[in-house]
Structure 1
């Protein structure tokens, strides 16, 4: 029964996605924007109105989300086929997509919060889908990191009452001339960097790999982590010319650099791909910090296809290796899974920005436009080094998984290339190859004049060749890296962010609470305060009880004391 449901949901999502894509092209060519206000109910002077904004950005992003979701649902038909709770899984995926849709079409901060919080809640349910301690820990880290962004959105809602409404689209131009814009802009940036896992909130993204692989494909391509970048694109009018963009640029560059280095130390296949997502999110944030809104959206959409394909290929391999994810126990997979190996290679090349794949059109343009900017040498160097690091870990990952001799257990049965998985991956493969040029022609049709010297023009290709060479060196001489104990400790642990996000947040607090228990409950404080008060109260109670026993001698004594007191007071 569930198979038919999977197919029905897949069909509805795919048709909706194709329809939305052609509708977005119509909106681009006609420069249309539709603003819909739906009055749900009104009572006297109180009315509840739901507002939706449809322009080419929201429509094209929705179409990409829906198409990738349809592929993931179809893929899950095979991947989750033996799972007991497969119906719960598909409902959670649909809730995830609906929350993202709610966020995309909302120009209203309250309805954005509903979608934003829905993403956080459903992602927690999906990360803890496999119910064990490590999944629960990863889920708690994910949801608590995202709560910081939720609080920032709530504070935005409270502060926007100064403008008289929550439809931020109506106030963006006004905010630019207001003193309040710095606070609202800062809160929006805080919300965006928590959802998009920029430094210092990067630790939850690799931890969220505890979710099933189809969910990872959806999360890392077009839904959860892209919500922060999308929110920044929507608020971009507010940031233009602001010093806040310099902070976005700095955080994005540091995230890109940190995740690129950390991926070269990692052996878990899904974590390497997660760190590559983190690197690309840092690139999107950096290019937003440089002031290129369209380029950030372009790379966001192109990244969605090849990253979803990369995760689905990883899912096929994990499925075939009986849930093994360590790349040291793989090897020579190209002989056993030829189609998966081909798909993996093409998506990896697209990630690296190899010419005329979809990733090339966005990454090459981003690097060339950043070369044209008047920022300092630090920005320039970090951009190119991070781009080289992407190729380093991609070469290392491909070599370990597909090129070295068999290194897996003899019980592994490599028969994971079933018809359903391959069909869902094929559409993503076609998109990863052709969608870059198609989108480039449709959307970025205005003229960009890029004037660079020959050396700067070809510096991208020099960095790619350097990345291949360094990646090969790291692959063959990994013990050389382990010799640097500090780099192994510091860089291999994501600059200690994973430790700080867990132990740094709760260890000192728990240690302080333990100290307080010792002092208050089991120490002198207990004796001096609570026990002392108890003894004094008991003494007073005993005196009052004796008075209430109606003994004649007590009343006589009280009378004498009253006479004496009166005598002393009067005379």
Structure 2
């Protein structure tokens, strides 16, 4: 047991100290406007140089600091959550590999070195999703890794297109790619890769399926690592997106993802899937504001979202852990009487998600919505933004009502206690950051406060939409049977909206199962059929028959000689 404690504690201390160092260095680089390139020549052969390049600027250092801070808290939290696992050292090593892959991706200005982190994230995420080793986990892991492999193919094609510029250091060429076909193709391929990694439509189905992983992994994946890799890549490529015009497509996709996941979360009853769909909604928000030309705002919301979403998953993990791995919110209720400390953290993270004033989410979400009102935005994107904001408040109030309020619906014979001090201490640190993180980042990233002048109604529109969404979410929760009857009356529409627009069925059946089945048929009829008949197996059969005939001659077979004699005699008669 001491050895188990030591590996968690050493990992926690190392990551925490390194995160503080990165955060302070990031602030220092930001204030002095420093960017540092570190190049290491791996191989030099004639005129070819293989160079490993690292980019250290304020954005990469601050993001690394946040990733390492959240990772340290997740590992500290995992000591209690994974205490029944005899192979916890394997789990910690997988998490550390996952974090290391994210570090490679963050500090790389080179497409080849980014690919190391990109593929490392895909591999370790697959290993963590199938960690519990059952059929559901295997299916979710295959869906996750195959969806991400589509993006990896696009990334490899982008690397091939970058050869036209003579180098893979994309950071030096972003301002020169606007007027040629290579720049347009590279921007399209990078957008495709980012859409698969950040689970935008139509690649959204793998994100809720990845909830088969242990909850500490979900806390790390959905806050600052795997799903944010695509957003971070688009932040780096933002000038190219705006120059080639592909940002208009990304704006539509991000708005549809926000809208789809917000509606789907209101139909869901699985605690972890509701939080996963809320992550999907926030990713759509980041992608859409990024496509409008505000990369700093997208990065700001990326960091604040990482703080409260990691905390939200940690609280969900405590609830699931104490309820005997039950994730259905209909079996919960009244848990505030049993989990006072966890409930406090849960409420803070949910309110930050809704954009409650002066919590972490308020500073980024309110500024994003105000910049949308200030921009030249079409009515479709306007509806996507504000309706999705109302849906966020709607499913959050619904979740709070089902989990914290009402009557206790779980077994009367239970051992529910608000203990597990490692989990609680990890959550308390995250609560502190979820409260002050937004204001701290706002003061640091926007040194000169910019004033957004809007009419009073527009200024209050975000608050009005959030209050209306919360009102509807609460009333849909307390009128449980009436909401079910409404859903039954419009059964097809409810099924369509509640199943992520049929994307899980399309992804598993249409994208993976049917192509595999058709590939099997093609393999049987062509590769193992006609090609074999007229190819290797056909030649083998022909030579085998010829060899048998020749062998019969060599064995002085009398019938053969007699047959040949009559044939010769027949031809002789015909000739003469």
TM-score range, shorter chain: over 0.9
The verdict on how the C-alpha distance between 1:548 and 1:344 changes in structure 2, with shifts beyond 3 A counting, is: same
Q: Which residue of 1 aligns with 2:31?
A: 29
Give the 3-state SS of the residue equivalent to 1:50 in structure 2.
strand
Q: Which residue of 1 aligns with 2:331?
A: 329
Give the distance between the partners of 2:426 and 2:534, measured in 1 at CA.
71
Q: Which residue of 2 aligns with 1:155?
A: 157
Give the 3-state SS of the residue equivalent to 1:409 in structure 2.
coil
Q: Which residue of 2 aligns with 1:479?
A: 484
**How many Å apart are 1:78 and its aligned residue?**
1.2
**How many Å apart are 1:176 and its aligned residue?**
2.0
Q: How many pairs are equivalent?
A: 567
Q: Contact 1:340–1:417 at 8 Å: present in 2 too?
A: no
Give the distance between the partners of 1:267 and 1:443, measured in 2 at CA.
38
Give the distance between the partners of 1:68 and 1:2, measured in 2 at CA.
20
Give the 3-state SS of the residue equivalent to 1:323 in structure 2.
coil
Q: Which residue of 2 aligns with 1:346?
A: 348
The verdict on how the C-alpha distance between 1:481 and 1:340 changes in structure 2, with shifts beyond 3 A counting, is: farther
**How many Å apart are 1:225 and its aligned residue?**
0.3
Q: Which residue of 2 aligns with 1:310?
A: 312
Please say if 1:502 is aligned against 2:505: no
Larger CA deviation: 554-563 vs 178-187: 554-563
TM-score by length of structure 2 reads: 0.92
Give the distance between the partners of 2:112 and 2:554, measured in 1 at CA.
63
Q: Which residue of 1 aligns with 2:400?
A: 398
Please say if 1:17 is aligned against 2:30: no
The verdict on how the C-alpha distance between 1:463 and 1:45 changes in structure 2, with shifts beyond 3 A counting, is: same
Please say if 1:490 is aligned against 2:496: yes
For residues 477-515 of structure 1, what are the alpha-carbon distances to aligned partners after superposition, in whole Å with 9 as ceiling and x for unaligned?
Answer: 331442220122101111000111111124433554676
For residues 108-156 of structure 1, what are the alpha-carbon distances to aligned partners after superposition, in whole Å with 9 as ceiling and x for unaligned?
Answer: 1011001000001000110011011101111111111010111111111
The verdict on how the C-alpha distance between 1:81 and 1:459 changes in structure 2, with shifts beyond 3 A counting, is: same
Larger CA deviation: 462-471 vs 510-519: 510-519
Give the 3-state SS of the residue equivalent to 2:226 in structure 1.
coil
For residues 328-347 of structure 1, what are the alpha-carbon distances to aligned partners after superposition, in whole Å with 9 as ceiling and x for unaligned?
Answer: 01111001100111111011
Give the 3-state SS of the residue equivalent to 1:417 in structure 2.
coil
The verdict on how the C-alpha distance between 1:563 and 1:44 changes in structure 2, with shifts beyond 3 A counting, is: farther
The verdict on how the C-alpha distance between 1:118 and 1:539 changes in structure 2, with shifts beyond 3 A counting, is: closer
Q: Contact 1:389–1:467 at 8 Å: present in 2 too?
A: yes
After superposition, where does 1:273-422 map in structure 2 within 5 Å? 273-422=275-424
Give the 3-state SS of the residue equivalent to 2:495 in structure 1.
helix
**How many Å apart are 1:15 and its aligned residue?**
1.1
The verdict on how the C-alpha distance between 1:538 and 1:178 changes in structure 2, with shifts beyond 3 A counting, is: closer
After superposition, where does 1:437-456 map in structure 2 within 5 Å? 437-456=439-458
Q: Contact 2:20–2:65 at 8 Å: present in 1 too?
A: yes
Aligned-CA RMSD value: 2.9
Give the distance between the partners of 2:73 and 2:273, measured in 1 at CA.
22
Give the distance between the partners of 1:291 and 1:396, measured in 2 at CA.
34
The verdict on how the C-alpha distance between 1:397 and 1:519 changes in structure 2, with shifts beyond 3 A counting, is: same
TM-score by length of structure 1 reads: 0.93
Q: Contact 1:319–1:416 at 8 Å: present in 2 too?
A: no
Give the 3-state SS of the residue equivalent to 1:264 in structure 2.
helix
Give the 3-state SS of the residue equivalent to 1:351 in structure 2.
helix
Give the 3-state SS of the residue equivalent to 1:374 in structure 2.
coil
After superposition, where does 1:82-161 map in structure 2 within 5 Å? 82-161=84-163
Give the 3-state SS of the residue equivalent to 1:324 in structure 2.
coil
Give the 3-state SS of the residue equivalent to 2:204 in structure 1.
coil
Give the 3-state SS of the residue equivalent to 1:176 in structure 2.
coil
The verdict on how the C-alpha distance between 1:194 and 1:442 changes in structure 2, with shifts beyond 3 A counting, is: same
Q: Contact 2:309–2:349 at 8 Å: present in 1 too?
A: yes
Give the 3-state SS of the residue equivalent to 1:495 in structure 2.
helix
Larger CA deviation: 527-536 vs 336-345: 527-536
Q: Which residue of 2 aligns with 1:239?
A: 241
Give the distance between the partners of 1:20 and 1:556, measured in 2 at CA.
95
Q: Which residue of 2 aligns with 1:457?
A: 459
Q: Which residue of 2 aligns with 1:195?
A: 197
**How many Å apart are 1:529 and its aligned residue?**
12
Q: Contact 2:355–2:366 at 8 Å: present in 1 too?
A: yes
**How many Å apart are 1:159 and its aligned residue?**
1.1
Q: Which residue of 2 aligns with 1:2?
A: 4
Q: Contact 1:396–1:474 at 8 Å: present in 2 too?
A: yes
**How many Å apart are 1:450 and its aligned residue?**
2.0
Give the 3-state SS of the residue equivalent to 1:411 in structure 2.
coil
Give the distance between the partners of 2:402 and 2:348, measured in 1 at CA.
16
Give the 3-state SS of the residue equivalent to 1:40 in structure 2.
strand
**How many Å apart are 1:412 and its aligned residue?**
2.4
Larger CA deviation: 525-534 vs 432-441: 525-534
